[in-house]
Amino acid sequence: MNKKKIIISSSDSNYFSLIKELHLSLKNTEVLSEYDFAILDTGLDSEQKNYFKDHNVLIKKAEWNVDVPQYKILGRENLKTQVARAFLPDYFENYKVYVWLDADMWLNDIQSFSFYEKGALNNRLTIVPQSDRAYIKNANVEWLFGFPKKVRTINYKNISKSVSRSLGRKYAFHSTLNAGAFAINNSSTIWKCFQKNIKLAAKKGRIFGTDQVALALSIYEDGIPSEFLPAYCNWMCEFNMPKYDRDRDKFVEPYIPNHPIALIHLAGLDDIRKDKNILSDIETLEGMQIKKSLRYNV
């Protein structure tokens, strides 16, 4: 079968267990009957690469697709994918749909996940804003004598450092776009815009966060077509824990209608990313408190 859709992630040796779980979550829900799965390698060892090759996973070595000063890298080869994800069609050619997924997430619900493909096929950069009724705090404010002295948001900090303070102020209170999961079709217009802004952001700012800056500028400043998916398509457990539906054996959003979550995202939860055996306090839909892992369980 000649597949025309591909899901791409990245990993070094430290993230092997996480990306293995991502792969298994896709395989066990039969997503990979329609999609190829690929990895941008930033430091997998030979045994780890052989594991994925034995499971028909495509592997390409990640490169610095834009010029980045050495003092910004400092041996952190994993940062390559902060810029490489804007060049996915150069690594894996001739696909109609490209879906990027960070290694620290896994597929919980296939129907919700299908919205990424639907948005991409509508010729829109499909992504989830980091804003939701369950994400209570969206900005930090320092007060002085009852007046706001300093406002801190992710967009303001990253765009100001990477491009300019004026653009940082302009988009300070626009929703941060979560670069951990997005989908784009084979439109050269969208990819070229994304790449242009990656080059701009990487030139001045720090490398970590370059992807989010580029996505924000591509959509907010350049106006490329976009499709904003609801938070349950890329759930940030760091911001609010999901609930658990025992009948469907799925994690769901914590408020009514408790929609099934497409992707469980573990960004910011360093202990859980390092140790699969850590159990979290999770509430079921019946209101019971249980101990359950947020990691993918086969």
The answer to whether residue 27 is domain-embedded is yes
User: Does 99 share its domain with 186?
Assistant: yes
Rounded to whole angstroms, how far apart are CA atoms 181 and 172? 22
Q: 232, 255, 278: which is the final residue of a domain?
A: 232
The parent domain of residue 258 ranges over 235-292
What total number of domains does the chain contain?
2
Among residues 265, 262, 257, 264, the alpha carbon closest in space to that of 285 is found at: 257
Query: What's residue 141's pLDDT?
Result: 67
Q: Residue 106: pLDDT above 80? A: yes
pLDDT band at 47 (very low <50, low <70, confident <90, very high): very high
**CATH number of the domain that residue 86 is part of:** 3.90.550.10
- pTM for this prediction: 0.92
- Hey, how many other C-beta atoms are within 10 angstroms of the C-beta on 20? 18
C-beta separation of 264 from 235 below 8 A: yes
pLDDT band at 148 (very low <50, low <70, confident <90, very high): low
User: Does 18 share its domain with 76?
Assistant: yes
User: Does 246 share its domain with 124?
Assistant: no
User: Does 115 share its domain with 239?
Assistant: no
- Hey, how many other C-beta atoms are within 10 angstroms of the C-beta on 150? 10
C-beta separation of 98 from 6 below 8 A: yes
